Amino acid sequence: MKKEMEIKPEKIAGQWPGELSMFSWKELVTAIPTPMFVVTGWKSNGKENACLQSWATFVSDSGEFICILGWVSKGGHMYHSLKETGCCVLNFPSSDIYEKCHSTISNNQFEADEIMASGLTAEKAVAVNAPRIAECFLNIECEFLWEQQNFTNSGNTVVALKAVHISMDSDHYDHNKLGRYGKTGYIYNANAPRNPDSGEAEQFSFGTIEKNM
């Protein structure tokens, strides 16, 4: 039997102050997974910026490969770096370095070299003026295309990026070795799924994809 939901179910409550103003209850109920990666660039003071990111999708159009970032805070370092430099790198970790990538959330002071502070290694990108993370198995170097405010007076914006250079570890593009999927491949964000009847909340977690065919 399906449950029809137009307004927030009565049992759904925020797990921390401000959660339901930052995230829609609809996201928490549907719990649709999205890929996780770290966006890197330069801050205006020349320090590395690193932001763990999800809420994104990737599309091909007219021969171009485009990343749509659906939730970028206009008050964050990542947004300002994109606007100032016009470029960034999307760095895809496997689960063995997830904790280091997650620590970029707390190592986000303006004066910090955020890649180094998180125990990761910065290396120079090939085609754009941004650092990339050496330990990540896939680096997509991107140029800024456009942005669109999510809705009137939103503090967040949708950003489109065009891939201009790709670097991928050979053991990951070989499915007979580490591959792109499974425990050594892409990781996905499952943002605190909620039960709309009981309000019970699962903890935030990340998962991987296993191919069935």
Reported confidence tier of residue 192, pLDDT bands at 50, 70, 90 = confident
Instruction: For residue 151, tell me if it sits in a domain.
Output: yes
CATH of the domain at 77: 2.30.110.10
Q: What is the distance, to the nearest Å, from the Cα of residue 92 to the centroid of all Cα atoms in its chain?
A: 9
Instruction: For residue 85, tell me if it sits in a domain.
Output: yes
Domain that holds residue 192: 35-208
- The pLDDT of residue 211 is above 90: no
Instruction: For residue 25, tell me if it sits in a domain.
Output: no
Report pLDDT digits (tens) over 6-35. Answer: 999 999 999 989 999 888 999 999 999 999
What's residue 128's pLDDT?
98
Distance from C-alpha of 26 to C-alpha of 47, rounded to nearest angstrom: 37
Reported confidence tier of residue 205, pLDDT bands at 50, 70, 90 = confident
Distance from C-alpha of 90 to C-alpha of 37, rounded to nearest angstrom: 6
Query: How many CA atoms within 13 Å lie on the side-chain side of 209?
Result: 15
Reported confidence tier of residue 4, pLDDT bands at 50, 70, 90 = very high
Query: How many domains is the chain built from?
Result: 1
Identify the CA nearest to 50 among candidates 63, 58, 41.
41
Instruction: For residue 28, tell me if it sits in a domain.
Output: no
Instruction: For residue 60, tell me if it sits in a domain.
Output: yes
3-state secondary structure of 189: strand
